[in-house]
Amino acid sequence: MNKQLLVIMMGLGLLMMGMLGCQHVQKAKDQALDDLNKIPTPLASPSRSSIPLIPTHFPPIKIEKLPSPPSSLLKSRTHTITPKPIPSNPPQPKTKTLNKPSPSQLPNTPKGSHVRVRPYTNLSHTGKKIAYLTFDDGPSLTTIQVLDTLKKNNVHATFFVNGNDSALGIAMYKRMAKEGHAIGNHTYSHHYAAIYRSPKAYKRDVERLGKLLEQVVGYRPTIMRFPGGSNNTVSHRAGGPYIMNDITERMLADGYTYFDWNVDSEDASGRKMSSRDIYQSVRYYTAGQRRIIVLMHDAPGKQMTAEALPAIINYLRGQGYQFDVLRRSSSTYQFLRPYN
């Protein structure tokens, strides 16, 4: 009996304790909610209570696409940095300069230098603007188109020709002379190994062409241009490092005047040049010069030069240049020139 009473009392005690516990938990919950409402909100809102404790709406998060890291960074992670491949046709730097010989390019003359380090020129920097268009290495089929364009635009130019006694060559020489262009000597063979062996070998080749031209057009040109230019180094192989000094001296002494150029169309630069590239080169090198000797080529395959010619003429005319042909008395531009 006592045992039964004890069990009942223990049960009641447990029940009361449970109820008290529940009240305690509820109190704690209420307190927590109250505390939560007391947390200051950063939002300036007139009725803080209207802000739901748990936001029901999330503004859409803008996920911006992150730029992909530079490939060099990716490569560095794996320590496999490889040098940038050099493009086969690198863009021309803006700081390109004219093909002036640097002291290191010029041969050292043993007993006092008789070579000018800087190009020699007496082209005027004042007065009217004159353009001397020059074409080397013809005549060829390209010459026909060049002559047609010159005729159409009423422009006279200078042709530094090679030897070509074919029917086409003869016809072209005649047409050049008849249409008022100047003909200059660019050697008969243009064969570096043969012409640059000695001053004598050079002159022999020049005279061979002079003879042919005398027969065809009636005169021997006294104006000339060295194959590769007067400062070329391809001649060193045939005639040694001082060969151009000796040849220029000899040719001047024999009454020839030679012309290099101060505007390079770069149509023989070895790179593949479009007609637009050629036109741009002429524009680039022309800038700031009042007298220009423009190097171009009418050799076989120089189609792009012929195609660039109308735009070149238009441009130069627009810039106020008049066209003229080179004569023995004309001002010149020479990359290399003996002092005497």
From the candidates 136, 137, 205, 267, which is the catalytic residue?
136
Question: Is 34 tagged catalytic?
Answer: no
Q: Which is nearer to Zn ion, 277 or 298 (CB)?
A: 298
What number of CA atoms fall less than 13 Å from residue 230's CA on the CB side?
Answer: 30
Question: Tokens 């010989």, residue?
Answer: 101
Please identify, using beta-carbon distances, which residue of 137 and 205 lies nearer to Zn ion: 137
Tokens 């008849």 belong to which residue?
Answer: 178
In the complex, what is the shortest distance from the CB of residue 166 to Zn ion, in angstroms, rounded to a whole number? 18
What residues are paired with 132 via a beta bridge? 293
Residue 207 to residue 233: CA distance in whole angstroms? 23
Q: Is 297 tagged catalytic?
A: yes
Parallel/antiparallel/unpaired status of strands 182-185 and 333-334: unpaired
The 178-217 site mask, x for binding Zn ion (CB under 5 A), equals ----------------------------------------
In the bound state, the residue with its beta carbon closest to Zn ion is 136
Q: 97-136 mask for Zn ion (x: CB under 5 A)?
A: ---------------------------------------x
CA atoms within 13 A on the CB side of 15: 6
Which residue, 270 or 288, has its beta carbon nearer to Zn ion? 270
Helix (H, G, I), strand (E, B) or coil at 230: coil
**Shortest gap between Cβ of 191 and Zn ion (angstroms)?**
11
* CB closer to Zn ion out of 226 and 323: 226
Shortest distance, CB of residue 177 to Zn ion, whole angstroms?
20
Q: Is 137 in the site for Zn ion (CB under 5 A)?
A: yes
Give whichever of 266 and 321 is closer to Zn ion, judged by the CB atom.
266
- Total count of residues recorded for the chain: 340
Per DSSP, 95 falls in state: T
Q: CB within 8 A of 340, min separation 6: which ones?
A: 114, 249
Q: What are phi and psi of 106, to 5 degrees?
A: -85, 145
**Residue pair 304/275 in contact by the 8 Å Cβ criterion:** yes
Cα separation, 272 vs 184, in Å, equals 27
Applying CB under 5 A, the site for Zn ion has a residue count of 3
Smallest gap from residue 136 Cβ to Zn ion (A): 4
Give the 3-state secondary structure of residue 151.
helix
What contacts 24+ positions apart, CB below 8 Å, involve 270-277? 271/89, 272/89, 273/304, 274/304, 275/304, 275/305, 275/307, 275/308, 275/311, 276/308, 277/304
State the nearest-atom distance from the C-beta of 125 to Zn ion, in Å.
Answer: 28
In the window 62-91, what residues touch Zn ion (CB under 5 A)?
A: none
Q: Answer yes or no whether residue 264 interacts with Zn ion by CB under 5 A.
A: no
Catalytic, out of 181, 186, 190, 297: 297
Tell me the per-residue interface mask from 223 to 242 with Zn ion, x by CB under 5 A, - otherwise: ----x---------------
From the CB of 229, what's the least distance to Zn ion, in Å?
Answer: 9
Q: Which is nearer to Zn ion, 251 or 321 (CB)?
A: 251
Contact residues for Zn ion, defined by CB under 5 A: 136-137, 227
Active site residues: 136, 297
